[in-house]
Structure 1
């Protein structure tokens, strides 16, 4: 098969279309013929040498895909060759074939085409596992999403609105904030011009910045608020005012989806298929695709994401 490989850690030019050995499914695994994958910021970090895959998994970049079941490993039940699926991966998505634990497969939501479905697993599982399972966002509460125009952000806006909450977002331009409002965001904050902690008080904050926003996020929490850190774009070491946290009975949690064990990922994907996919089918939560590019053009997709201006997800199709 062909896959996108990294010649050596570096810029987008390090990505190469290369012939590699076909993967083989082991016990409990499924082999997929990949239709498409999608680009995540974690992919940029892995390309630069900062985000290695978990031990024993593919070193090919790619945390999600859609495709067709090509072969079943020993002991796999519930799936058949030819089934159209999407999958949450620990790696390997930028390829024509990928092996995935059977528990991390999900059916393609009704009404979504196979290529578009490639951009759903990572955002849906990230938002569900953090906003719903970890932070317990409930109806009537307020969610603040940093990076509202990104893949995770555009999904979080829609899911939170479907759950009956007020949604606030940060983004860096009036146009991107308008697009977030079109998806349902109630409060929009231009982080270049406004201090979000002066504009919003939230019960749950979904944060992709890490250290840079840590004290400001705590300031923006309501009593009993929950801050969930899922990214470190603003650094890894910050100052935490424990007194302020205690006075609010608030909490800070940091999570990673990629390094969770397969059994935990299987639980998350099962809940997403049960609770989120019906919302997608009903149109309450839509996959937001900025652009579809050929998989061979992964380097260009990385350049686009790094340059900014992408709204939603960049999808890489194996075949045009």
Structure 2
């Protein structure tokens, strides 16, 4: 099979097209002939070595759509040729064929085409997980979402609204992302620079009940004091690549604040049933017409380096998927 891979950590230039042996599904696994692969910031981190040094040829890609090409022993409920969406906890999506455990494979339902399904497996459960599980959103609460126009932010704002959120505030890192974020249903969109005073003004000094933060660093530090009593900050990334925060518990309990996190990889290892429950919950919201899962761009696989350059520059807006199969 053909794939995009890298064997040294670095910038987008390390990505190259390679020929690899076709994978085969083991017990409990599903082989997928990939049509589309979602693009996620974690794949840029994978390429750069954030998750550890490279070990031979590594294929990025955390989510795909396509059709079932083979079933390992013990897999029930799926059939060869069936359209599916999948999460790949061990990467491997930028390829013609991908293998993952059956518990991370979902039939593509009515209302979700293969293009959108290509960007579903990682982003959708994450968006639901940060809002409903880690964020524990209650009806009427105020939510602040950083990276408001990104793949997760674009969906999290809709999920929060569907689950009864009150005011929804977003921040963006570039002025050209404001218009896109405003179209997603935020009540207020702010530049990330200097956001904290504006949030306090918008909430009459009370602050917010939930902060969803994939940025980290100084943005996370500025967000904690914005939490209303019993407010929760959910960290789910460190896109700023700044030093981690040191948070003494004294500052949390003295101000009735909670800091927590969400990591889909850890969830896949320790509680895969929750990944599936969160994914199915999003599919339910889509079926009810409460959430739209949309792809902003479909990019040919040969342009993957250009997409990763935009990831590194923080210049992507919305969900991007790569077209893997010719004619897809």
Q: What TM-score, normalized by structure 2, do the two folds share?
A: 0.89
Cα distance between partner residues in 1 of 2:45 and 2:278: 28
CA contact (8 A) 2:154 2:181 kept: yes
Mapping for residues 4-83 of structure 1, pairs under 5 Å: 4-52=4-52, 59-83=58-82
Tell me by how many angstroms 1:205 deviates: 0.9
Q: Which residue of 2 aligns with 1:162?
A: 162
Aligned residues: 317
Measured against aligned partners, the alpha-carbon deviations of 1:167-189 in whole angstroms (never above 9, x if no partner) come to 11101345422322221111222
1:148 and 2:128 aligned: no
Q: Secondary structure at the match of 2:78?
A: coil
Contact 1:198 1:220 in 2 (8 A): yes
Say whether the 8 Å CA contact 2:115–2:295 is kept in structure 1. no
Segment of structure 1 superposing worse, 166-175 or 60-69: 166-175
> Any unmatched runs of 5+ in structure 2?
none
Are the counterparts in 2 of residues 177 and 188 from structure 1 also a CA contact under 8 Å? Answer: yes
Q: Give CA-to-partner distance per residue, 1:237-271, whole Å, 9 cap, x none.
A: 22435443213322111332123344623332233
Name 1:135's counterpart in structure 2: 135
Alignment partner of 1:300 is 2:328: no
Contact 1:53/1:59 (8 A) holds in 2: no
* Distance across 1 between alignment mates of 2:268 and 2:54: 10
Alpha-carbon RMSD across the aligned residues, in angstroms, is 2.2
- TM-score, structure 1 normalization: 0.92
> CA separation in 2, counterparts of 1:88 and 1:52?
21
Residues 94-243 of structure 1 correspond to what in structure 2 (within 5 A)? 94-165=94-165, 166-195=167-196, 197-199=199-201, 201-234=207-240, 235-240=242-247, 242-243=249-250
Offset at residue 63 of structure 1 (A): 0.7
Greater displacement, 238-247 / 149-158: 238-247
Q: 1:285 aligns with which of 291, 303, 311?
A: 291
Pairwise CA distance, 1:110: 1.8
Residue 157 of structure 1 aligns to a residue whose secondary structure is helix
Secondary structure of the corresponding residue to residue 273 of structure 2 = helix
Greater Cα shift, 209-218 or 152-161: 209-218
Greater mean deviation of Cα atoms: 118-127 or 90-99: 118-127
Q: 1:292 to 1:53 in 2, by over 3 A?
A: farther
Answer yes or no: is the 8 Å Cα contact 1:60–1:94 preserved in 2. Answer: yes
Contiguous gaps of at least 5 residues in structure 1: none
- Residues 207 and 227 of structure 1 are in contact (CA less than 8 Å); yes or no, is this contact kept in structure 2? yes
TM-superposition CA deviations, 1:185-208 (whole Å, max 9, x none): 112221235435534521111111
**Contact preservation (8 Å) 2:70, 2:80:** yes
Cα deviation 1:82-105 (Å, max 9, x = unaligned): 111111111111111011100011
Give secondary structure in 2 for the equivalent of 1:228: strand
